[in-house]
């Protein structure tokens, strides 16, 4: 059962897709249940990946190998180490959450919708487990196709077309430069196998060029200021589940790429460009936090706060020490829970009132107490309150950054204050105050399904905040291994 | 120089078979279509299927050719692995094109069976082009192919567009043939031979520093031949006829133009410029690089503003030719490999596109679709069709893991291998810009559904079969790309000089 665990994990969503394809369009409930069961099976199965994982070694585990294009020396290599195992878990977890959350809110083309999500699940597992730079690019890019459809077809407003275009073209422009860089690597080293490339050292000049090309792709995905324009648009227009996937996992593909490829393959380039990354990150943290204060769209606030958190992540990665990188991985995971949960909370409101304007909502605490509890909890988690998941990540990141650059740490701490400002102010505006009854006649608190969606995220957030050691233990050896290369 | 009857005739048997059998086909069709007591039957469907049969048997003869690597008919024709591969592709794609057009001919009342015969004759021309081993054979074969295509372009005699297309194609085609012939005569005048092998030996030993005048004339001749080829390939800046011809000709003919002839001319270009004129690499390489950059840019920018489907496809074809020329201009075995890889996948994508365009019609009056906007709302009226079309479009703009990505990947690999970074960067940038108009089509089909919905009917059975086959190929190609890679390697390995 556990011999080819990764291949099975990739195959499970495809089996689900095949079953769904056979179900007639009218049997919506069957389609939904089938998609949900498939994603749940994938999640439970991926838990075994975590259980069977041996955290005493930095080697890649569960390796599988397939001859793919032998004439060009290209092969399919999949395996996980202490970093990627978390992202695979996060992907399978969030895909199930997404399918559950769109149970009632998606009311057209359900069949295609669930096929898109299961397909994304399979592609994401591939992205995080593949050990070949070229194949990584292939799957990194192919996520565009389902996501383009999800934003364009099931998006909410008329600007969705513009958003889908922006998402598609920004990402494509960034990543084609990476493609050229991969070809350069291929001709320099004769292979694109990641494990072999770890033993190849490029000249410093080449490293700088290659690092920049990879960075162009990852910076758009992360996104770092000034490449972040597509993100608020895409988030605002996408359906709730689309935003969850986008914020929860797709952004992590960029930071994961930075940790896995930019740091390990181009150590000199990474050291050379650390000041640039620091500059872009602190601009991201401060600028987007201030921008968040003046947004009037609920989803845009969370989208901009995502950019700010991703700024923390990049600071942590390029602090180039153990605390920094481990902290940034923790932030990535916690952001995967917290911002997804916030998007889900906004989705709850949107399902009831079909607007996301802040002015529309006041005094929700009086009529939706359980919802208020969830929203407040995740807002506090978002601002990095001690005991929540973000705190452990941000704390480690700032400790790591402090040892390499105190000024950057100082400015990043300003970002924490600002994030407290916008989170609390947002809570203040929509949860408290006087209830405008003449605007909203029909309030109902969260349903059982919505509680079932949100409570696992609460548990994860608390667990990671109170006892992050479980996560740190697993990634410890792998991160040390990356640092040894640098 | 002896004339060996057995070998020569056996080697050329597919071409000879088609030529002979086509006479019978003409006689049969003429007798029956003019017979009063049968009531002047419309033979188009019948003749099409017969033509498909002819091509199928020619295909069988071609792949089971026992003689490989033979030079026949007084060194006029060569039959090697490359020619067999390209001929198979041409025969198969023509068969598909003929079948795809059946539905279209029925609805458009294009009841002249002659176009089937002309298309098969053009196929014979192309097969000879691929096999040509002498400048004279090459020129005659190109003319045979071109004349048939001029006629079929103006097939719809009562339509202004079609006659205009035929005339434009004829005049510009004749002009390019003139350039080609002039180049051939210059080469003959200064080298005294028209045979490829002898020309190859002349050029591989030529020393430009010694005899500058003669070599300049030879370079001029080579460039004239190159320009003639680029005309036929519709590469920019010699592309101006392509959008008009694509638009004016009936769609079944446009499908033929878009799918079949490019690979024939391209394999000739590869044979000439990667083998015969390889000694003169520098002068023609510059021209090819320039043309490929221009084609990519013109194809992309031109397509951005089009509102008609067929013009858009013409410009996208120009852009694709630009990518193929990157492979040729790299002048390496990887480049040739990438070029053939690209064109085979391009043919499959084009077959998929035209299987849709030839068959979808509005419900009710069954009028054909002309403008891009007519596709809007396809997702509502026919979701499977819309998804298939979207897959083809994503593949055309090269989004992985669809097959179109791999063709572009090999092209860029070959460019970077020869350190042509500028060309690779331009190619990548234009492919991003080109994705803009491909996803515009997807946007029309999927996202404009709330505003306008055209009720469209479904495809005919043959067309949907071909479409599904092509889409499955495009989607699953990445799982097992080795067979196509191996076939191509076997066919072009002898270009390693």
Write out pLDDT tens, residues A452-473. 999 999 999 999 999 999 899 9
Report yes or no: B451 at the A interface, CB cutoff 8 Å. no
CA distance B336 to B318: 19
CA distance A236 to A155: 9
Contacts of A251 (CB under 8 A, 6+ apart): A221, A222, A223, A231, A306, A310, A335
Tell me if A94 sits within 8 A of A245, measured CB to CB.
Answer: yes
For residue B237, cis peptide bond before it (omega within 30 degrees of 0): yes
Residue B134, helix vs strand vs coil: strand
CA distance B141 to A198: 54
Distance from the Cα of B107 to chain A's closest Cα (Å) equals 32
DSSP conformational letter for A320: -
Tell me if A330 sits within 8 A of A409, measured CB to CB.
Answer: no
Mean pLDDT for the stretch of residues B387-407 = 92
Q: What pLDDT does residue B137 have? A: 93
Tell me if B329 sits within 8 A of B271, measured CB to CB.
Answer: no
Interface test with A, best of B338, B399, B471 (most A CBs within 10 A): B399
Q: Return left, alpha or beta for B40; rule: phi > 0 is left, psi -120 to 50 is alpha, else beta.
A: left
Tell whether the model's pLDDT for residue B366 goes beyond 80. no
| CB within 8 Å of chain A, chain B residues 373-432 | 379, 383, 387, 390, 394, 399-401, 405, 409, 412-413, 416-417, 421, 424-425, 428-429, 431-432
Residues of A whose CB is below 8 A from B481 = 68-69
B275-313 pLDDT per residue, tens: 888 888 888 899 999 999 999 999 999 999 899 999 999
Task: Work out the burial of residue A481: count CB atoms within 10 Å of its CB; fewer than 13 is exposed, 13-18 middle, 19 or more buried.
Answer: middle
Single pTM value for the model: 0.93
Every domain of chain B and the residues it spans: 5-495
Tell whether the model's pLDDT for residue B2 goes beyond 60. no
Q: What pLDDT does residue B243 have? A: 93
Residues of A whose CB is below 8 A from B421 = 180
CA distance B354 to B369: 12
Contact B485 A153 (CB under 8 A): no
Question: What is the domain extent for residue A122?
Answer: 5-485
**Which residues of chain A have a pLDDT value below 70?**
1, 437-442
**Lookup: tokens for A484:** 């040894």
Q: What is the DSSP track for B219-247?
A: HHHHHHHHHHHHHHHT-TTS-THHHHHHH
Task: Work out the burial of residue A70: count CB atoms within 10 Å of its CB; fewer than 13 is exposed, 13-18 middle, 19 or more buried.
Answer: exposed
Q: What pLDDT does residue B207 have? A: 64
Tell me if B357 sits within 8 A of B372, measured CB to CB.
Answer: no
Residues of A whose CB is below 8 A from B439 = 148, 165, 168
Q: What pLDDT does residue B96 have? A: 95
CA distance A71 to B489: 9
* Nearest-Cα residue of chain A relative to residue B394: A145
Distance from the Cα of A141 to chain B's closest Cα (Å) equals 6
CA distance A236 to A160: 8
CA distance B69 to B82: 9
CA distance A374 to A371: 5
Facing A183 at nearest CB: one of B416, B431, B481 = B416
> Which of A361, A333, A356, A359 lies closest to A343 in space, CA to CA?
A356
Tell me if A212 sits within 8 A of A248, measured CB to CB.
Answer: no
CA distance B228 to A206: 41
Residue B256, helix vs strand vs coil: helix
Torsion angle in degrees (nearest 10) through CA of B21, B24, B26, B32 = -140
Facing A144 at nearest CB: one of B399, B409, B443 = B399
Q: From residue B363, how far is each of A194, B228, B358, B360, B456 by CA, in Å?
A: 54, 44, 15, 9, 5
Q: What pLDDT does residue B495 have? A: 75
Facing A152 at nearest CB: one of B394, B424, B446 = B446
For residue B180, cis peptide bond before it (omega within 30 degrees of 0): no
Contact B447 A187 (CB under 8 A): no
> Which of B161, B168, B363, B344 lies closest to B264 in space, CA to CA?
B344
Q: Please tell me the number of Cα atoms within 13 Å of A318 on its side-chain side.
A: 29
CA distance A82 to A62: 12
Match 């809110």 to its residue by tokens.
A105
Residue % of chain B over a pLDDT of 90: 58
B329-346 pLDDT per residue, tens: 988 888 999 999 999 999
Tell me if A173 sits within 8 A of B436, measured CB to CB.
Answer: no
Tell me if B236 sits within 8 A of B291, measured CB to CB.
Answer: yes
Mean pLDDT for the stretch of residues B46-56 = 95
Tell whether the model's pLDDT for residue B1 goes beyond 50. no
Mean pLDDT for the stretch of residues B181-198 = 91
Tell whether the model's pLDDT for residue B80 goes beyond 80. yes
Query: CA end-to-end span of chain B, whole Å?
Result: 25
Mean pLDDT for the stretch of residues B391-401 = 92
CA distance B322 to B296: 5
Our count of domains for chain A comes to: 1
Contact B439 A112 (CB under 8 A): no
Q: Count CB atoms within 10 A of the CB of residue B363.
A: 11
**Lookup: tokens for A2:** 């556990």
* Nearest-Cα residue of chain A relative to residue B429: A173
Residue B34, helix vs strand vs coil: coil
Confidence of residue B448 (pLDDT cuts 50, 70, 90): confident
**Lookup: tokens for A72:** 């060009």
Tell me if B136 sits within 8 A of B198, measured CB to CB.
Answer: no
Tell me if B449 sits within 8 A of B335, measured CB to CB.
Answer: no
Tell me if A448 sits within 8 A of A104, measured CB to CB.
Answer: no
Residue % of chain A over a pLDDT of 70: 98
CA distance B476 to B465: 16
CA distance B350 to B420: 28
Question: How many residue contacts between A and B have a Cβ separation below 8 Å?
Answer: 82
Q: What pLDDT does residue B74 have? A: 84
Q: What pLDDT does residue A255 have? A: 94
Residues of A whose CB is below 8 A from B405 = 138, 141
Confidence of residue B458 (pLDDT cuts 50, 70, 90): confident
DSSP conformational letter for B479: G
Task: Select the more confidently predicted residue: B161 or B205.
Answer: B161
Q: What is the DSSP track for A121-186?
A: HHHHHHHHHB-BHHHHHHHHHHTHHHHHHHHHHH-SSTTHHHHHHHHHHHHHHHHHHHHHHHHHHH
Residue % of chain B over a pLDDT of 70: 96
Residues of B whose CB is below 8 A from A184 = 416
Residue A64, helix vs strand vs coil: strand
**Lookup: tokens for A440:** 């909203």
């Amino acid at each position: 059962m556990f011999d080819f665990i990764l291949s099975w994990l990739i195959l499970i969503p495809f089996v689900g897709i095949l079953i769904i394809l056979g179900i007639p369009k009218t049997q919506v409930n069957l389609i939904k249940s089938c998609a949900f069961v498939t994603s749940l099976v994938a999640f439970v199965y991926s838990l075994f990946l975590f259980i069977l994982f041996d955290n005493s070694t930095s080697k890649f585990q569960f390796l599988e190998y397939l001859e793919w294009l032998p004439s060009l020396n290209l092969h399919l290599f999949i395996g996980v180490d202490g970093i990627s195992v978390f992202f695979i878990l996060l992907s399978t977890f969030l895909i199930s959450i997404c399918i559950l959350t769109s149970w009632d809110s998606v009311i057209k083309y359900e069949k295609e919708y669930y096929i898109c999500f299961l397909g994304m699940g399979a592609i994401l597992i591939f992205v995080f487990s593949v050990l070949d730079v070229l194949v990584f690019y292939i799957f990194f890019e192919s996520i565009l196709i389902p996501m383009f459809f999800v934003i364009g077809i099931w998006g909410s407003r008329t600007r969705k077309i513009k958003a889908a275009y922006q998402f598609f073209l920004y990402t494509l422009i960034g990543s084609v430069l990476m493609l050229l860089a991969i070809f350069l690597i291929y001709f320099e080293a004769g292979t694109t196998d990641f494990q072999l490339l770890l033993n190849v050292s490029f000249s410093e000049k080449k490293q700088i060029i290659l690092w920049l090309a990879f960075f162009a792709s990852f910076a758009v995905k992360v996104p770092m200021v000034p490449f972040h324009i597509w993100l608020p648009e895409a988030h605002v227009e996408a359906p709730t589940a689309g935003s969850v996937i986008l914020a929860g996992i797709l952004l992590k593909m960029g930071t994961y790429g930075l940790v896995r490829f930019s740091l390990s393959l181009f150590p000199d380039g990474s050291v050379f460009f650390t000041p640039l990354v620091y500059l872009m990150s602190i601009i991201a943290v401060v600028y987007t936090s201030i921008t968040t204060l003046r947004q009037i769209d609920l989803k845009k606030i969370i989208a901009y706060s995502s950019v700010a958190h991703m700024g923390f992540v990049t600071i942590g990665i390029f602090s180039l020490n153990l605390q920094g990188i481990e902290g940034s991985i923790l932030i990535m995971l916690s952001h995967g829970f917290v911002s997804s949960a916030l998007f889900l909370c906004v989705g709850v409101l949107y399902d009831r009132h079909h607007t996301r304007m802040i002015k529309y909502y006041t005094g929700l605490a009086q009529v939706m107490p359980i919802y208020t509890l969830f929203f407040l909890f995740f807002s506090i988690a978002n601002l990095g309150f001690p005991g929540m998941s973000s705190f452990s990540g941000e704390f480690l990141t700032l400790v790591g950054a402090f040892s390499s650059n105190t000024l950057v740490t100082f400015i990043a701490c300003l970002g924490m204050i600002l994030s407290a400002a916008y989170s609390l102010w947002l809570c203040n505006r929509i949860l408290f105050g006087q209830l405008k009854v003449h605007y909203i006649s029909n309030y109902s608190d969260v349903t059982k399904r919505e509680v079932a969606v949100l409570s696992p995220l609460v548990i994860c957030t608390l667990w990671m905040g109170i006892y992050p050691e479980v996560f740190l233990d697993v990634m410890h050896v792998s991160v040390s291994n990356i640092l040894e290369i640098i | 120089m002896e004339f060996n009857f057995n070998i020569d005739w056996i080697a050329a048997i597919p071409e000879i078979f088609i030529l002979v059998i086509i006479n019978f086909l003409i006689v049969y069709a003429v007798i029956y279509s003019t017979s009063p007591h049968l009531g002047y039957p419309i033979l188009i469907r019948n003749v099409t299927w017969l033509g498909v049969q002819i091509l199928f048997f020619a295909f069988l003869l071609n792949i089971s050719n026992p003689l490989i690597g033979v030079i026949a008919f007084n060194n006029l024709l060569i039959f090697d692995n490359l020619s067999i591969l390209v001929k198979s592709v041409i025969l198969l794609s023509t068969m598909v094109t003929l079948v795809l057009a059946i539905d279209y001919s029925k609805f458009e009342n294009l009841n002249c069976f002659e176009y089937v015969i002309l298309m098969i004759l053009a196929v014979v021309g192309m097969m000879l082009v691929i096999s040509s081993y002498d400048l004279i054979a090459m020129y005659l074969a190109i003319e045979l192919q071109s004349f048939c295509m001029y006629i079929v372009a103006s097939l719809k005699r009562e339509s202004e567009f079609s006659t205009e297309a035929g005339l434009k194609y004829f005049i510009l085609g004749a002009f390019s043939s003139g350039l080609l012939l002039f180049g051939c005569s210059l080469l003959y005048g200064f080298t005294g031979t028209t045979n490829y092998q002898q020309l190859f030996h002349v050029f591989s030993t030529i020393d430009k520093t010694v005899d500058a005048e003669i070599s300049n004339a030879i370079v001029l001749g080579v460039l004239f031949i190159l320009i003639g080829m680029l005309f036929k390939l519709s590469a920019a800046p010699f592309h101006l006829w392509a959008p008009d011809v694509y638009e004016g000709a009936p769609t079944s003919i446009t499908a033929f133009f878009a799918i079949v002839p490019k690979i024939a001319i391209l394999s000739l270009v590869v044979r000439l410029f990667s083998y015969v004129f390889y000694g003169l690499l520098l002068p023609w390489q510059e021209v090819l690089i320039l043309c490929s950059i221009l084609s990519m840019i013109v194809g992309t920018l031109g397509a951005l503003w089009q509102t008609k489907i067929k013009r858009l496809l013409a410009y996208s074809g120009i852009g694709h030719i630009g990518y193929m020329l990157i492979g040729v201009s790299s002048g390496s075995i990887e480049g040739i490999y990438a070029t053939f890889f690209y064109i085979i996948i391009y043919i499959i994508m084009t077959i998929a596109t035209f299987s849709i365009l030839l068959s979808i019609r509005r419900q009710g009056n069954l009028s054909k679709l002309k403008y891009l906007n007519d596709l809007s709302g396809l997702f509502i009226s026919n979701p499977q069709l819309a998804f298939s079309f979207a897959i083809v479009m994503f593949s055309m703009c090269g989004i992985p893991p669809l097959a179109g990505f791999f063709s572009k990947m090999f092209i860029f690999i070959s460019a970077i291998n020869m350190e042509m970074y500028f060309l690779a960067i331009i190619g990548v940038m234009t492919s991003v810009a080109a994705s803009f108009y491909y996803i515009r089509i997807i946007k029309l089909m999927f996202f404009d559904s709330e505003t306008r919905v055209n009720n469209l009917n479904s495809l005919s059975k043959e067309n949907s079969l071909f479409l599904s086959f092509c889409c499955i190929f495009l989607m699953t190609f990445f799982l097992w790309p080795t067979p196509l890679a191996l076939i191509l390697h076997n066919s072009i390995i002898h270009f390693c000089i």
